[in-house]
Amino acid sequence: MRTNRTFTMIKPDAVKNGYTGEILDKIIKAGYKVIALKYTKLTKQEAEGFYAVHSDKPFFEELTNFMSSGPIYAAILEKEDAIKSFRAFIGATNPVDAAEGSIRKLYATSLGENAIHGSDSDENALIEGSYFFSKLEEVE
């Protein structure tokens, strides 16, 4: 399995707040190669499918309402040790706990509306990437 790719979404809060350009710029300047990129809007059902692993959590309804509330950017990124480095780059789930300079520290609104997603394992990066992109849409 590939260990050098991750999947990300710039979430509806960050898109709405006009941070897409700054976030993409930081991602590219941090050395991630954009393999695939898409501007789209999830339906409630698509958001539920993406976050199915959290379906028993108390925040599931709020999360899927939020993720289907406005457009997002979805992308597959490539860099050595992508999963681990990108999780550090975006910062902790709750922006209050996120490191200075991290994407969530800079751009997140709250714990739920936290600007950006990053896959937590190689396996999930593959599953999540293929939720949005076909093989033909990945530019090597």
Q: Which residues are catalytically annotated?
A: 117
CB 75 within 8 A of CB 36: yes
77 contacts ligand UDP (rule: CB under 6 A) = no
91 contacts ligand UDP (rule: CB under 6 A) = no
Contacts of 45 (CB under 8 A, 6+ apart): none
Q: How far is the CB of 92 from ligand UDP (least distance, A)?
A: 7
**What tokens were used for 115?**
């600007």
Residue with smaller CB distance to ligand UDP, 5 or 117: 117
Give the 3-state secondary structure of residue 11: coil
Q: What are phi and psi of 5, to 5 degrees?
A: -130, 150
- The piece of 17-25, 35-43, 73-81, 114-122 that touches ligand UDP (CB under 6 A) is 114-122
CB 113 within 8 A of CB 66: yes
112 contacts ligand UDP (rule: CB under 6 A) = yes
Interface residues toward ligand UDP, by CB under 6 A? 59, 62-63, 93, 111-112, 114, 117, 120
